[in-house]
Amino acid sequence: MPHPQSTAGPVTVFVCMTCRHADDAAEAQPRAGARLAATLTSLEGVEVREVECLANCKRGPSVAMARPGGWSYVFGNLAPTDGAAVMEGAQLLARSADGLMPWRGRPEPLKRGLIARIPPLPGASA
Amino acid sequence: MPHPQSTAGPVTVFVCMTCRHADDAAEAQPRAGARLAATLTSLEGVEVREVECLANCKRGPSVAMARPGGWSYVFGNLAPTDGAAVMEGAQLLARSADGLMPWRGRPEPLKRGLIARIPPLPGASA
């Protein structure tokens, strides 16, 4: 179905490179966050940025995503194999008419892994 | 000490009105989040907005804060009496030259209650 808000983004996905997974050995390399990051590829309307810390260390691997004029999201307890779910969620956010990521249709890892969300700043435009 | 970046803000503090505290009875009214919100008053460079949910429900009471071109923060496990600490942290963020809330001098509830932080969007200006 064509979506009139398909260009509402762009969304930026911030992926933490230093997150460990609870099941990983302390010195396992590459870290779970870096393994997740390696599966994320920028696509139309979604830019991926690797970052060092989202301060969600106890519940990693972690990503955050945000867009101008929209809500910002933090997700945790992800698996290194959740890259496709992350990008699918980012596209949902990019295409959202109200700046919220819809719950319906949201990939499961972004439902059970929701850590927090932040409203857009007052006066921000999409 | 005069601070040349004292007008770098403005910061918006989002306070969740529906958060419960772990020690509260299920039906206690007003809720812990609303009790915290009642102690927050907008001041120069810091605007307070009451919101319904920051999706940090298991670790409430919760606040988030953000500013144009700066990092966004989520704090949880706060007490209804932490209002002064919240506003002090918001002022630190408003005055920050690099858009980060400094760790040094940050009130203790915003150290132990840090849930996550999100970088500014690419190209965003303070």
Is the minimum CB–CB distance between A78 and chain B shorter than 8 Å? Answer: no
Instruction: Judge whether residue A6 has pLDDT over 50.
Output: no
Cβ B64–A115 below 8 Å, yes or no? no
pTM of this structure = 0.92
Nearest to A115 among B12, B115, B119 (CB): B115
Note whether A56 contacts B12, CB cutoff 8 Å: no
Contacts of B115 in chain A (CB under 8 A): 55-56, 74, 115-116
Contact assignment for A115 to B119 by CB distance below 8 Å: no
User: Looking only at Cα atoms, what is the longest distance across chain B?
Assistant: 47
Asked if the Cβ–Cβ distance from A55 to B115 is below 8 Å, we say: yes
For residue B22 the two structure tokens come to: 């772990």
Q: Of the candidates A86, A71, A62, which has an alpha carbon nearest to the alpha carbon of residue A9? A: A71
* Strand order through the sheet with B46-51: B46-51, B11-16, B63-66, B72-75, B114-118
**Average model confidence (pLDDT) for chain A?**
91
- ipTM value, please give it: 0.91
Q: What is the mean pLDDT of residues B94-111?
A: 96
pLDDT per residue as tens digits for the range A63-79: 999 999 999 999 999 99
Q: Residue A115's pLDDT is what?
A: 98
With CB atoms and an 8 Å threshold, state whether A49 touches B122: yes
The CATH code belonging to domain A11-118 is 3.40.30.10
A81 secondary structure, DSSP code = T
Among residues of chain A, what percentage have pLDDT more than 90? 79
Q: Which helix (H) or strand (E) holds A50?
A: strand A46-51
Q: A-B interface: how many C-beta pairs under 8 angstroms?
A: 73
Of A83, A85, A92, the closest CA to residue A109 belongs to A85
pLDDT at A2: 42
Q: What average pLDDT score do residues B82-109 get? A: 96
